[in-house]
Amino acid sequence: VAVRPVLRYPNRALKEVCRALADGEEPGDAAADLLDTMSAHPGCVGLAAPQIGAMVRIVAVDVSEHPKAESSNGRLVLVNPVVVREDGADVAREGCLSIPHLTANVRRATTIEVEAQGTRFRSSGFEARCVLHEIDHLDGLLFLDRVDSLSTDVFRRKNYR
């Protein structure tokens, strides 16, 4: 198991655009380390490669154990994920291991279709939100980049659980 430290803003890795993996390129340790690191943080439902310092387009998502998830595709490891369709919009609270002392209300699509290496699937609700949040990381976007109002939508929190 290789649990890597989760980088926090202002680490520059979090604001960079990650590179896509070439056809046939092995993800190396990044994919396994993502899952290991995710498991090491109770309550963590998603993590993106740049958060552990791997500047490649890989994200891991697993909302299957989360009470907010009404549907789930199980444990997802997505290489070069692309959102090919987005429908609906909903505002809900998000947190992030890379900005551990804040949460914020963020508007996201409610149903999405995602294409990634070797897979294409539909996702909705909490899982879709999570996938969109993680894919944002691959483009150097944090939830603060999507908040509509500082006075009403950003909250301090004491502990990341």
Left (φ > 0), alpha (ψ -120 to 50) or beta: where does 34 sit? alpha
Examine the residue annotation and report whether 134 is marked as an active-site residue of this protein: yes
Figure out which of the listed residues 9, 35, 83, 86 binds another protein, where binding follows CB under 8 A.
Answer: 9
- Min CB(27)–another protein separation in Å: 28
| C-beta of 15 vs 75, nearer to another protein | 15
Cβ closest to another protein, residue 74 vs residue 159: 159
Q: What is the DSSP letter of 122?
A: E
Least CB distance to another protein at residue 55 (A): 17
| Cβ atoms within 10 Å of 70's Cβ, excluding its own | 11
DSSP string for 59-113: EEE--TT-TT-SS---SEEEES-EEEEEE--EEEEEE-TTSTTEEEEEEE-SEEE
| Cβ proximity to another protein, 85 vs 101, nearer residue | 101
Considering only residues 107 through 146, tell me which ones interact with another protein, judged by CB under 8 A: 107, 142, 144-145
What is the greatest pairwise CA distance in the chain? Answer: 47
Binding site for another protein (CB under 8 A): 8-10, 15, 99-102, 107, 142, 144-145, 147-151, 154, 156
